[in-house]
Chains A and B, each alone.
Chain A
Amino acid sequence: MSHLLTISLVISALHLALPILMPMLGGLISERSGVMNIGLEGMMLIGAFSAVLVTYFTGSPWLGLVGALCSGVLSGSALALMTVTLRGDQVVASAAINLIGAGLTAALIPVIWDIDGLTPSVAKIPSIHVPFLEDLPAVGRIFRSLSLVDYICFALVFLVWWVLFRTDAGLRIRACGESAESADVAGIAVVRTRFFAVVSSGVFGALGGAYLSIVTLDMFQASMTQGRGFLALAAMVFGKWRVWPGALACIAFGFADAIALRAQILWRGIPHELLIALPYVLALFALATFVGRASGPAGVGKPFTRA
């Protein structure tokens, strides 16, 4: 057990938590505005793919990151168009995003690189050096392993919380999620607000995907997100649609992932195929036990239309 709980476990848990944390924030914004987004998985894949694609052709992972964010705007807009503007069923529309995301990225790999399944290596986003912090005993290693993107991601958690609960825009978003009719009567442009929220959720999903492909790894692989978009939704439900508890749930999933990875090396007795399922089993267990009867924002899933 002492080999398991080390600083490197914490590092790997954080790195595994962030690609769940980002789509969790995206899902949270979207659901708080009243649109259920189960399409995060597809948005992540498209983001991860775009990041590698742009990095491959420009050589700069930072441009790759920008490319991923742009893809998030696109996939978010596509979902918003279907659900908010055209008032299609939210679950079905976001399932379409998942199918298209998984299919399109896998189909484009051979078109662009002439190989199946995974792309060649591209440049990664490097870690940055923070003086003082990384010289600290023990925890210094954590800071040494973090890149600028990690810091941005942690800052984003705070930013999302602040915007949602401390600004006028957040109040508007939450009002649309609780009751679109009431928000409309209060003079809020419900369609525009929801559209914006869904697009931001696309950006967060894409950021989570890009994190996997150009921060954690240096390439794209078909279906590389492995259900993290759905784990993010489970974390959001687990956190009862609040930012900080949701973030904690993501970190818990990150630890589960990290433990599963290390246990493969440490305990040969446990088949690693089963350990891979640990985060998912944990998520199911969490949904079954800790969370009371889950209830999100009242207006989720209801398309808004004026009478």
Chain B
Amino acid sequence: MTIDTTAPTSDLASRRQTRMDPVAMADAMGTAGDETRSPAPQQVMPRLIAHFHRASGHFGGQVLTFILTIAAALVASVPMIWLAGSDLWLTTTALFGGALGSGPAIAETMVQMIPLLIAGLAVAVAFHASLFNIGVEGQLLFGGLVAGIVGATVNLPPVLLMIACILAGMIGGALFALIPALLKAYRGAHEVVTTIMMNFVAVAVSEYAVAPSGPFVASDQPSATDRVPEGTQLPIIWDGTRLHAGLLVALAAVAIVTWVLYRTPIGFRLRLMGANQGAARASGVSIERMTILALLASGALGGLAGAVQVLGVYGRFYSAFSPGYGFDAIAVALLGALSPIGVVASGFFFAVLHAGSVPLQAIAGISREMVGVVSGLVVAFVAAQPAMLRLWSGWRKPAVDDRAIETGAETPPAAEKTASMEMPS
């Protein structure tokens, strides 16, 4: 054996760059000249609905699942309609007529969609990291409170104040997610339990802030902060209705979340951690940092939902401004299969339920609380989805077993050497 001193050494100068073998690099940069198809848009889901993804990875399958889930949930809630002594037709017309029957009705549905959409994104972002943020309701409340307080007390030009309110709301929501995030990252406390606790803390804090003797209560209105100054509210974008610019904020949030999740390294790390924490850690992702980041982002979106609702609809913070948007958001995220576009669709569906629930109560005598039941049913059907799809695909064709394939004949390894190494000179 000879010791050769002219051996190649690693290029330490380029340490900060991703090391890549030249052949692979050429592949990646497209200089190798092979005709690769440009990959079509794809969606990757965390472990939670990995089964679902495997069974129907394509867009059509997702739309079908979406519709079937809604249909199943609605059918399952039919007994409630009979219990309430109403009939199906009346209920349907009341619901959809009330939500979509006229221009103003559609605008009102859109108004309802805004917080559901943003809060749904908040839940979805956490889910992508395999974290269940059930505390979006609390983050939304606290974000709304902070936005309301900033709007009522800080002295700034209106537009700047509006931006300050929205940012303050996001920071408030993020701070409210910080404690569960730290507990999860460093103590292993399950985020479901801790974020729920924070919900009750949020209710207590926001009620205290605007209690009769509370520090921020308005002089002219109990259980609310003072109105934000003129011009600080989000502008109305459809005259004669309540539809406000929050819709644009929500759609921008959808675009940004989509981009970050699927088109940035940080989103990749987040999804990787959600899909396989071990692989993420072994490839150099700091699990603690990503856990905190994911929950903070989720909390910030929750706070944004609250701030937008406070600035767009009421112009002030009411302690009871959320009828449980944060909880419906769980159903929104899951029904949307955690994809931001899917969240838009399912957010719209739940907005129809919310907007239609008022005429529903008036005409058909069905309690608004039914929205909660339907979201529960949607979540239940999403939870059972892997099993249903398994049954369905099992019925179509026998399941293919992983291990079994391995025993199948492989093409014998080629004699030529692996092409990826450069010979040392």
Q: Which residues of A contact B (CB under 8 A)?
A: 38, 42, 78, 82-83, 85-89, 91-93, 95-104, 106-111, 116, 222, 226-227, 230-231, 233-234, 237, 271, 273-274, 276-277, 280-281, 283-284, 287-288, 291, 293-295, 307
Does chain A have a CB within 8 A of B383? yes
Q: Does B188 lie within 8 Å of A277, measured CB to CB?
A: no
Q: Cβ of B134: which chain A residues have Cβ within 8 Å of it?
A: 38, 95
Q: Does B200 lie within 8 Å of A86, measured CB to CB?
A: no
Q: Cβ of B189: which chain A residues have Cβ within 8 Å of it?
A: 237, 287-288, 291, 294
Q: Which of B209-224 contact A (CB under 8 A)?
A: 211, 213-214
Q: Does B375 lie within 8 Å of A99, measured CB to CB?
A: yes
Pick 7 A–B contacts, CB within 8 A, sort by A. A89-B386, A96-B382, A99-B373, A116-B367, A273-B208, A277-B203, A280-B197
Q: Does A273 lie within 8 Å of B204, measured CB to CB?
A: yes
Q: Given contacts A87-B386, A273-B204, are A103 and B187 in contact (CB under 8 A)?
A: no
Least CB distance, A175 to chain B, in whole angstroms: 23
Q: Does A273 lie within 8 Å of B380, measured CB to CB?
A: no
Which of these binds chain A: B256-264, B291-299, B326-334, B406-414?
A: B326-334
What is the CA–CA distance of A288 and B403 in the complex, to the nearest angstrom?
43
Partner of A291, one of B187, B211, B214, B370: B187
Q: Does A103 lie within 8 Å of B208, measured CB to CB?
A: no
Q: Does B383 lie within 8 Å of A92, measured CB to CB?
A: yes
Q: Does B204 lie within 8 Å of A287, measured CB to CB?
A: no
Interface string of B323-361 (1 = CB under 8 A from A): 000010011001000000000000000000000000000
Looking across the interface, which residue of chain A has its beta carbon closest to that of B188?
Answer: A293
Q: Does A88 lie within 8 Å of B377, measured CB to CB?
A: no
What is the CA–CA distance of A277 and B179 in the complex, to the nearest angstrom?
15
Partner of A227, one of B196, B377, B385, B403: B196
Q: Does A103 lie within 8 Å of B384, measured CB to CB?
A: no
Q: Does A230 lie within 8 Å of B197, measured CB to CB?
A: yes
Partner of A274, one of B193, B205, B375, B379: B205
Number of interface residues of B (CB under 8 A): 56
What is the CA–CA distance of A276 and B207 in the complex, to the nearest angstrom?
11
Q: Does B183 lie within 8 Å of A284, measured CB to CB?
A: yes
What is the CA–CA distance of A38 and B195 in the complex, to the nearest angstrom?
12
Q: Cβ of A96: which chain B residues have Cβ within 8 Å of it?
A: 376-377, 379-380, 382-383
What is the CA–CA distance of A295 and B80 in the complex, to the nearest angstrom?
41
Least CB distance, B119 to chain A, in whole angstroms: 14
Looking across the interface, which residue of chain A has its beta carbon closest to that of B403?
Answer: A307
Q: Cβ of A271: which chain B residues have Cβ within 8 Å of it?
A: 208, 211, 213-214
Least CB distance, B371 to chain A, in whole angstroms: 7
Least CB distance, B123 to chain A, in whole angstroms: 10
Q: Does A294 lie within 8 Å of B197, measured CB to CB?
A: no
Q: Given contacts A227-B199, A277-B201, are A99 and B376 in contact (CB under 8 A)?
A: yes
Q: Cβ of A281: which chain B residues have Cβ within 8 Å of it?
A: 197, 201
Q: Cβ of A227: which chain B residues have Cβ within 8 Å of it?
A: 196-197, 199-200
Partner of B193, one of A95, A234, A293, A307: A234
Partner of B84, one of A99, A111, A294: A111
Q: Cβ of B387: which chain A residues have Cβ within 8 Å of it?
A: 85-88
Q: Does A103 lie within 8 Å of B370, measured CB to CB?
A: yes
What is the CA–CA distance of A210 and B345 in the complex, to the nearest angstrom?
39
What is the CA–CA distance of A91 and B382 in the complex, to the nearest angstrom?
12
Q: Cβ of A108: which chain B residues have Cβ within 8 Å of it?
A: 83
Does chain A have a CB within 8 A of B194? yes
Q: Cβ of B380: which chain A residues have Cβ within 8 Å of it?
A: 78, 82, 93, 96-97, 100
Looking across the interface, which residue of chain B has its beta carbon closest to that of A229?
Answer: B196
Q: Cβ of A231: which chain B residues have Cβ within 8 Å of it?
A: 197
Least CB distance, A302 to chain B, in whole angstroms: 11
Does chain A have a CB within 8 A of B289? no
Q: Cβ of A109: which chain B residues have Cβ within 8 Å of it?
A: 367
What is the CA–CA distance of A13 and B193 in the complex, to the nearest angstrom?
22
What is the CA–CA distance of A116 and B361 in the complex, to the nearest angstrom?
12
What is the CA–CA distance of A227 and B377 in the complex, to the nearest angstrom?
21
Partner of A103, one of B211, B369, B388: B369
Does chain A have a CB within 8 A of B192? yes
Q: Does A106 lie within 8 Å of B367, measured CB to CB?
A: yes
Q: Does B187 lie within 8 Å of A294, measured CB to CB?
A: yes
What is the CA–CA distance of A116 and B386 in the complex, to the nearest angstrom?
37
Q: Which of B368-425 contact A (CB under 8 A)?
A: 369-377, 379-380, 382-388, 403
Q: Does A102 lie within 8 Å of B372, measured CB to CB?
A: yes
Q: Does A104 lie within 8 Å of B373, measured CB to CB?
A: yes
Does chain A have a CB within 8 A of B132? yes
Of B208, B369, B388, most A-chain CB atoms within 10 Å = B369
Q: Does A82 lie within 8 Å of B196, measured CB to CB?
A: no
Does chain A have a CB within 8 A of B363? no
Looking across the interface, which residue of chain A has its beta carbon closest to that of B372?
Answer: A103
Q: Does B208 lie within 8 Å of A88, measured CB to CB?
A: no
Q: Does B369 lie within 8 Å of A237, measured CB to CB?
A: no
Q: Does A277 lie within 8 Å of B200, measured CB to CB?
A: yes
Looking across the interface, which residue of chain A has its beta carbon closest to that of B197?
Answer: A280
Q: Does B388 lie within 8 Å of A107, measured CB to CB?
A: no
Looking across the interface, which residue of chain B has its beta carbon closest to that of A281?
Answer: B201
Q: Does A82 lie within 8 Å of B384, measured CB to CB?
A: yes
Q: Does A88 lie within 8 Å of B205, measured CB to CB?
A: no
Does chain A have a CB within 8 A of B19? no
Q: Cβ of A103: which chain B residues have Cβ within 8 Å of it?
A: 369-376
